[in-house]
């Protein structure tokens, strides 16, 4: 498989996952207070939403890339 086909498959998978899940979350450690050698950290959970148009666009772009890659070789 060439690199264009791999990119097309990655776009198709990423777009599909974006539509199915709608986003993802991750945990970030943040320093709340720092007094000398004493440091208090807080774990914050962040949410990243993937827009519907981005998922659909990735699927369309992946499909077009896959079609053009199969026509070329």
Question: What is the structure's pLDDT at 56?
Answer: 95
Show the tokens assigned to 22.
């709608």
Q: How many domains does the chain have?
A: 1
**3-state DSSP assignment of residue 37:** coil
Question: What is the structure's pLDDT at 37?
Answer: 87
Taking only the tens place, the pLDDT of each residue in 15-33 is 999 999 998 999 999 888 8
Residue 58 burial by Cβ neighbours in a 10 Å radius (0-12, 13-18, 19+): buried
Question: What is the structure's pLDDT at 73?
Answer: 63
Please tell me the distance from the alpha carbon of residue 15 to that of residue 51, in angstroms, as a whole number.
10
Contacts of residue 25, Cβ cutoff 8 Å, sequence gap at least 6: 45, 46, 47, 48
Range of the structural domain that residue 26 is part of: 3-72
pTM (predicted TM-score)? 0.71
User: How many other C-beta atoms lie within 10 A of the C-beta of residue 8?
Assistant: 22
* pLDDT < 50 positions in the chain: none
């Amino acid at each position: 498989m060439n690199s264009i086909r791999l990119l097309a498959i990655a776009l198709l998978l990423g777009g599909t996952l974006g539509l199915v899940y709608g986003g993802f979350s991750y945990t970030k450690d943040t320093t709340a207070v720092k007094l000398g050698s004493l440091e208090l950290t807080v774990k914050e959970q962040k949410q990243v939403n993937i827009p519907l148009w981005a998922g659909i666009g990735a699927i369309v772009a992946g499909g077009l890339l896959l079609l053009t890659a199969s026509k070329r070789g």
